[in-house]
Structure 1
Amino acid sequence: MYWYEYCPKHIESKYKLLVFKENQPFLPLTDYYNDCLGRIDKSSATSYLNCLLPFFKWLEEESNFQGERVQWNDAEEKIRVVVEDYLMHEMNCKIRDRESFRFINLTNKSPNTVSRFLSALKSFYKAMIRLNQYTYNNPLIDGQAISNRYKEEINGVRVDKPRMPSVAGTEDPLMHRRLTDSYFKIINEEWQPQIIDDINLPYQVYQAGNKVNWSQREMIIARMLFETGARASEIIELTIGDYRNRKSHQEVITFNKGSYGKKVKFLRFSKDTVKRLFHYIDTERKFFDKDHLCSHELSDGAPIFLSSNGTPFTYHAWYYHWNRAMHANKLSLNPHKARHWFVTSRLREIYNISINESEIEQRKNELIKYMKWRNPDTMNVYEHYFDETKHREAHDQMLKQMKQNENDYNKLRKSSKKLQVSQTLKDEIFDENLRDLIEGLE
């Protein structure tokens, strides 16, 4: 019912993206995404939008307040009731009443997107109020509880005057942290790193894709997920120029979460994937390209991956193919787990090739700098802190081993030997520093 498409480059519009409801433009979510750009980076805006689409569909089909469907622009009391219903029945959360707000307990059936959904919805209503499209208070903000709890803190040493900023040095420091102003407060949220140590996991995914007839495009994206450790959006939104701007033919540059679209990091993949990529560009992609251009004819700004309509491929469209393959093959696998699998594999390789603790620490730091790009500045800043040559040497060894593992897996599969997905890695192998490393992936 709700879906979106990016604006084609040849069309001038103030909107970078249009959200549709039953093939008609749906302006509230379209305006929301447009308002997000410049406030948060593009990948976060898209992530928020993907969290909201299922909720808006549910709102249209399942919501209920006193026997009637609830609209997104209804009063805050109605919105809070239906959000609470959505959290309980669709996200398997447990909810406890507390004064003017609600405590949210996650269960083992709750998706790991609960916090992101609440942040997205809170952000949506902030934008609608800012754009004068929602006339009530933000239903996701608990203004009353914050006002009551911190009334004394708001007043400073001057009678009936607000507190001076802390740098002024005239106010006593606050003795405790302020609670979140959210109406729905998650109280047991503690992210645990997912350590995926099944060497055959990528090849099971590739086989799942083959069974549902993935195109070259879906297969290449899946291979790049496991070979680079990148987020899906960082791969799906690659351009031809992102490939041409690297010295190595096995590399591309891409944006990172928090880089606001700046190309600040590089990804590296196998020679086999390079061959597959160019075969895709000169065959499948060329067919859907409106100008039917080959790889050497494309401009730097041309997207590498196209939809069947000749428009830039999107995460939302790609996820449909991923999800279909996972369901058809009874694999419970979020695409982000490919990123965890990559890090676990690199860590295993570090332990295998290092001869002492000093080498282990050095290679861990190299991997940290490859995976945890935080600074949105130019590539030169990153090049200063990270020796790409050392990463290439270790990465080549991993890719070589992956190719061997793939061959071994295919031989075993043909001989009808069943392989099971391993879910965890023995905890004693990983120290706390490694857990800190993996936590940085989110």
Structure 2
Amino acid sequence: MTEFYYYQQKRISESSALSYLITLERFFSWLVKSSNYKGTQVNWFDNHMAIRAAVEDYLIYQMGCKLRSKENFQYVIMTKKSPQTINHFLAAIKSFYKTAVHLKLYGFQNPLVDANYNISMGSFNSRSMRYNKPRLPKIAGTEIPSNSSYRSQSDSYFKLVANDWKPNIIADIDLPYIIYRAGSEVRWSLRDEVIIRLLFETGARINEILELTIGDYRQRVNQYEIATLNKGSEKRRIKFLRFSQDTLKLLIRYINGERKMYAHEKNSFIKLSDNEVIFLTRRGNPYNYNAFYSQWSKIITHAKLKMNIHKTRHWFVTNMIRNIYDTSSDSAEVERKKHELINYMKWKDPETIKVYEHYFNEALFREVHENMAKKMQEYEQEYFKFPHDRELNTMQNEKSLDSLLAAENIEWINEFYKEME
């Protein structure tokens, strides 16, 4: 696992490598305690058939999934008991054995890969390619389109079914303050206070905050904004974060105080160079995910919560949408503000916001339904209090309707009634 971790650090972000490591540690611990293949315990270096059997048991008994067998692979079906981390687990274990095979630490094929995939795809490709000739445009209709279904298939032995991403809806308005209080009680550093406040106020990912530099702040004209990278932006600062006046005061106090104590370059904010990283460890090195995660875990445990760092982002979006609906005067203003939020979050798929909106649509329906139920209760009490008067009113209303229809002689209504019969 150490070899895997250092190998992956060069290829993916440190936070992703660490999260893979934590997921693998759980699986391999279970492997030692509870695995069984043909009457014996499974070791991580056993043949691929034994590892597949162990992964199947882990998915079923530990992660609450159902499996459907196909000829050369398995469909993994999530249930209500399954956590939302199934895809992450499958990606981690597949990456581990891919690395182990590459480093010659594992002597069998990757258990998480369908060995027959390339063969079947090769025969498919041969029917859809014109060798030594340029591909004709789709309108020609002479060959299978380039976006045929085979391109969306995976070489994974375990294929997750209906893996639609669904964000967590975190509607507890008090959540940040619960964590702030817990942080204060465990005597968090000013550095960690600023970072956690930025997480809740900006909706940023943790790596977007940890990698902030002095130049990122100077790049923005507005004093309550700071430029930052975005996922997949190749370290380019293509987005910005906006925070409160109180957090800005804490940030400046941290840079000129606590940070200055541990920094190699002991300058105040004005004299620091643009490439200086804002958040540092006590050794004066850039503050990384591993170091912050240990502090975050301590605070969350003290608050008696089970919450990963990324949920601060879900909380931010949930409350931004709530505020959009609360402060908008009409539907046009709602749509404009939603568009601004999509741009701010830099979502690749604008449809992401609809999953959050679904929560608010349900909440709105509950409110409407409660009002209707309240009115029904009032009418019920009134009816049983004055039943004779209500019956007379109903009869009079029916008579007036009949006279109106007779007077108007509306043909389309007569036809409508006939259709209903």
- The TM-score normalised by the length of structure 1 is 0.68
Counterparts of residues 83-98 of structure 1 (less than 5 Å)? 83-88=55-60, 91-98=63-70
Contact 2:129 2:143 in 1 (8 A): no
Instruction: Give distance in 2, aligned partners of 1:298 and 1:175.
Output: 51
Counterparts of residues 92-131 of structure 1 (less than 5 Å)? 92-126=64-98
SS in 2 for 1:143: coil
- CA 1:59–1:227 in structure 2 vs 1: closer, same or farther (change >3 Å)? closer
* Letter matched to residue 261 of structure 2: F
Counterparts of residues 20-419 of structure 1 (less than 5 Å)? 26-34=2-10, 36=11, 45-58=13-26, 61-64=29-32, 67=40, 70-71=43-44, 75-88=47-60, 91-126=63-98, 136-144=108-116, 147-148=119-120, 152-156=123-127, 167=137, 170-173=142-145, 177-178=149-150, 179-374=153-348
| Structure with the larger RCO, 1 or 2 (CA within 8 Å, 6+ apart) | 1
Contact 1:52 1:120 in 2 (8 A): yes
SS in 2 for 1:104: strand
Contact 1:229 1:338 in 2 (8 A): yes
* Letter matched to residue 264 of structure 1: I
- CA 1:120–1:47 in structure 2 vs 1: closer, same or farther (change >3 Å)? farther
- The TM-score normalised by the length of structure 2 is 0.71
Gaps of 5+ in 2: 350-358, 366-421
Moved more, 307-316 or 76-85: 76-85
SS in 1 for 2:236: coil
**Greater Cα radius of gyration, structure 1 or 2:** 2
Instruction: Give distance in 2, aligned partners of 1:331 and 1:144.
Output: 45
Q: CA deviation at 1:228?
A: 0.8
* Letter matched to residue 21 of structure 2: L
Q: How many residues align?
A: 347
Q: CA deviation at 1:99?
A: 2.9
- CA 1:228–1:330 in structure 2 vs 1: closer, same or farther (change >3 Å)? same
Q: Which string of whole-angstrom CA distances, capped at 9 and with x for unpartnered residues, describes residues 348-392 of structure 1? A: 2222332222222212211111112549xxxxxxxxxxxxxxxxx
Contact 2:42 2:54 in 1 (8 A): no
- CA 1:315–1:166 in structure 2 vs 1: closer, same or farther (change >3 Å)? farther
Corresponding residue for residue 385 of structure 2: none
- The alignment-based identity, stated in percent, is 40
- CA 1:308–1:75 in structure 2 vs 1: closer, same or farther (change >3 Å)? farther
Give the structure with the larger helix fraction.
Answer: 2
RMSD: 3.4
Q: Which string of whole-angstrom CA distances, capped at 9 and with x for unpartnered residues, describes residues 270-320 of structure 1? A: 110011112122222222224444333432222211123322111222122
Corresponding residue for residue 427 of structure 1: 362
Gaps of 5+ in 1: 3-25, 37-41, 376-423, 431-442
